[in-house]
Amino acid sequence: MALSEVQRAQVNKQLGAFCDARVPAAVREKVRIGFRIKGTEVVLFEERPAFQSPHDWREMPIAKFKYVGTQKLWRLYCQHRDLRWHAYEALPAAPSFTKLLEEVAADPTGIFWG
């Protein structure tokens, strides 16, 4: 099952604006924020040029959002040092994607942005 066209458009619009606003234009050759949608999951990631090969960009996951259609909820995950996704305990789910994106932006625990 995948996101509906309306949900997909909403996520594209909100995350596109978020990614554009998060990184100042002056440093976009050094840092980029992007996202990928696959099925019901959305992964937000940071990209930086590889140290020895600056034309190759490396992705570092920041957050994962997952829509659970049966519950009509969005779930938020963070990646721990074991490189597995774990439910974000401070706000594990919300009916609104916007609410979870705001939590990632605020990052009160420092788990997403450090």
Tokens of 82: 């074991």
CA distance linking residue 19 with residue 47, whole number of Å: 11
What's the total number of domains in the chain? 1
Q: pTM of the prediction?
A: 0.94
Q: Has residue 102 been placed in a domain?
A: yes
Q: Has residue 111 been placed in a domain?
A: no
Q: Has residue 114 been placed in a domain?
A: no
CA 67 to chain centre: 13
The whole-number average pLDDT for the span 61-78 is 98
Give 23-65 pLDDT, tens digit per residue. Answer: 999 999 999 999 999 999 999 999 999 988 888 999 999 999 9
Q: Has residue 47 been placed in a domain?
A: yes
CA 58 to chain centre: 15
Q: Has residue 113 been placed in a domain?
A: no
Residue 1 pLDDT greater than 80, yes or no: no
Give 89-102 pLDDT, tens digit per residue. Answer: 999 999 999 999 99
User: Which residue segment(s) compose the domain that 13 sits in?
Assistant: 5-106
Q: Has residue 12 been placed in a domain?
A: yes
Residue 76 pLDDT greater than 90, yes or no: yes
Q: Has residue 97 been placed in a domain?
A: yes
